[in-house]
Amino acid sequence: MYRPYHTIIGDEKKDTEAHMRILEVRDMTSSIASDNSNAYIDFSKMTCSVVAVITDQFRNGEQIVGYGFNSNGRYAASGLLRERFIPRIHSASPKNLITDTEDNLDPFKIWDILMQNEKPGGHGERSVAVGTIDMAIWDAVAKIAGKPLFQHLADHYNDGKSDGKVWVYAAGGYYYPGKNNNALQDELKSYRDLGYKTLKIKIGAASLQEDMARIESALKISGDGNLCVDANGRFDLESALTYAKQIKQYDLFWFEEAGDPLDFELQSQLATEYELPLATGENLFSHQDARNLIRYGGLRKDRDWLQFDCALSYGLVEYLRTLKMLDYYGWSRRRVVPHGGHQMSLNMAAGLGLGGNESYPHVFKPFCGFADGITVQAGYVQLPEIPGIGFESKSELFSVMQQLID
């Protein structure tokens, strides 16, 4: 049973003059299991964490609750959330969680509290736990401000400029038991019917010959220049170069994550051999790791793509540091297309001037996809004009999130 909203979590004697409070942070684990697989893992037991940050604030008669979840590919971080990170918020002085002007929560102060007594490096699943809470904090921040998150981000970090629509691509083409290339083509046709122009399929879990047949089948649907291929870090250097030699005959949109995400030498050598665009970054979980990729990965500012995922990498607070680092090294934010396929990354893309966003039309429901009733038009999608990230506009997802406060 949910405790009454007026119940204060933590020591009520602390800072009783604070004007707003986080009353409670709750989490649960939700299944996103399916029978698809990529070159490295299957998703038969995949889970994610869902978090609710409950505040004492009301807008238009509704209590402000911020929600967050982690992206697919990393499991729920329940143990870390419950043992370390949520208790740090509950035990913090309320005034240390809000802005100096006491008119909103302060994501940066909260991030510092989450990361107190945490050593550098070794990011692992810790970055997922923090990223999930951070998403919920930003959802609450934008709701308290009464703005869509993308506009709040634009106002504070992008000179007030936001994109009215965001380029999205359809990520699919997973391996499924018994699925042949005709079925792959049917899947890709369904994405085209939904309004997507750029499509992505998986490679690396089959033989080179089989994968080449998959690529050629997919190209018949996507057309030249509109197909991405993703190896999910499966290849060693020899395999990566072998695949690169074979696929460079095609005009692919990008060749994604050929090798281990921390093998910057592999990435650099691949960039010297493969002239077409490369993409990587979804499995780098800090601005320091991202910086090492930029320094040592041989990526090219004029064609390659960066796919850092805030929900997996300590959240938006850390993502802003990553963007600042990219600015320093002369990279355009338009080369950043976050992994994850969810509304948080979509808000970031629109509000911070990123290059676009991933989308999962058919997998990882209900966490995939965007607002109800908003369709993809010629490869672009708009965002709902409601305060926060917009989860309330996605009914199936929001019904899951509400389980935390029922």
Q: Is 202 a catalytic residue?
A: yes
* Active-site pick, 202, 287, 342, 394: 202
SS (H, E, C) the chain: CCCCCCCCCCCCCCCCCCCCCEEEEEEEEEECCCCCECCCCECCCCEEEEEEEEEEEEECCEEEEEEEECCCCCCCCHHHHHHHHHHHHHHCCHHHHECCCCCCECHHHHHHHHCCCCCCCCCCCHHHHHHHHHHHHHHHHHHHHCCEHHHHHHHHHCCCCCCCCEEEEEECCCECCCCCHHHHHHHHHHHHHHCCCCEEEECCCCCHHHHHHHHHHHHHHHCCCCEEEECCCCECHHHHHHHHHHHCCCCCCEEECCECCCCHHHHHHHHHHCCCCEEECCCCCCHHHHHHHHHHCCCCCCCCEECCCHHHCCHHHHHHHHHHHHHHCCCCHHHECCCCCCHHHHHHHHHHCCCCEEECCCCCCCCCCCCCCCCCECCEECCCCCCECCHHHCHHHHHHHHHHCC
Cα→Cα distances 403→26, 49, 127, 382, Å: 10, 13, 24, 28
Q: Is 220 a catalytic residue?
A: no
* Active-site pick, 123, 287, 339, 394: 339
- The catalytic residue positions are 202, 339
